Amino acid sequence: AKKMINFEATELRLGLPGGSHGGDMAVKNNGKRGFSETIDLKLNLSSTAMDSASEVDLENMKEKVVKPPAKTQVVGWPPVRSFRKNVMSSQKPSTEVATEGTEKTSGSSGATSSASAGAAVAYVKVSMDGAPYLRKIDLKLYKTYHDLSDALSKLFSSFTIGNYGPQGMKDFMNESKLIDLLNGSDYVPTYEDKDGDWMLVGDVPWEMFVDSCKRIRIMKGSEAIGLAPRALEKCKNRS
């Protein structure tokens, strides 16, 4: 189990994915968010925990966050033909049909709809220091920082610099690793927000991030250190 950062000791605040932790940051205690990536439509595990949301056991939440996400919207995954999905959603069953990842396209023409079924897209450019090309990703496809880090690590995993490896990026949201990352030569994702400021990814609650992020830059850890105090300051101003 990953240990929690002792916040007083480090002066760093992190918006844990779905996290609520004491302190000054008025992070929305939206316990649901932390579980969103592990919710299967029919498993009742998560919903029980959701109901007793206020005093959430953070350790437990962390466990679930760290596991590979069970449900993230990805185009064409699982590989079930849209036609079949449409038929299933148009049935009038007594219980919900619960194939994992079935997008409820509610009768829309599945063959041509994109993954962001009707919702706005939020494309941002993602660059990585030293990489020969940019990628663009749609932030609306992801529900948590963990999903995002998963996606980013795969995007750039074939391109290795120094001691960065495909698994390394996954850990960037774990506080204990973050210090190492910031101190070392590993990579840290940062983003430019609406105000033009460069912030650490993970700083603010997920929805706020999606709304304010304009582009993402994965930079060397050593360069990112200067961001932390500014990020903290900004958060204090917000809360």
By CB under 8 A, residue 119 contacts other proteins: no
**CA 20, chain centre distance (Å):** 16
By CB under 8 A, residue 162 contacts other proteins: no
Q: How far is the CB of 232 from other proteins (least distance, A)?
A: 31
For 187, which DSSP code? Answer: E
By CB under 8 A, residue 136 contacts other proteins: yes
**Binds other proteins by CB under 8 A, chosen from 1, 9, 92, 237:** 92
For 4, which DSSP code? Answer: P
Nearest CA to 58 out of 93, 97, 23, 88 is that of: 23
Query: Residue 193 and residue 216: Cα distance in Å, rounded?
Result: 9
By CB under 8 A, residue 196 contacts other proteins: no
Q: Is 164 in contact with 131 (CB distance < 8 Å)?
A: no
Q: Is 81 in contact with 105 (CB distance < 8 Å)?
A: no
Output the CA–CA distances (angstroms, integers) from residue 147 to 66, 95, 121, 157, in the order listed.
10, 29, 16, 15
Query: Residue 99 and residue 61: Cα distance in Å, rounded?
Result: 25
By CB under 8 A, residue 118 contacts other proteins: no
**Binds other proteins by CB under 8 A, chosen from 91, 118, 194, 237:** 91
By CB under 8 A, residue 48 contacts other proteins: no
SS3 (DSSP) at 123: strand
**What is the x/- site pattern for other proteins, positions 57-86, by CB under 8 A?**
-----------xxx-x-xxxxxxxxxxx--
Q: How far is the CB of 54 from other proteins (least distance, A)?
A: 24
By CB under 8 A, residue 87 contacts other proteins: yes
Q: Is 61 in contact with 36 (CB distance < 8 Å)?
A: no
**What is the x/- site pattern for other proteins, positions 96-115, by CB under 8 A?**
-xxxxx-------xxxxxxx
**Residue nearer to other proteins on the CB measure, 34 or 205:** 34
Q: List residues near other proteins by CB under 8 A.
A: 40-43, 45, 68-70, 72, 74-84, 87-88, 91-95, 97-101, 109-115, 125, 127, 132-136, 150, 154, 157-159, 166
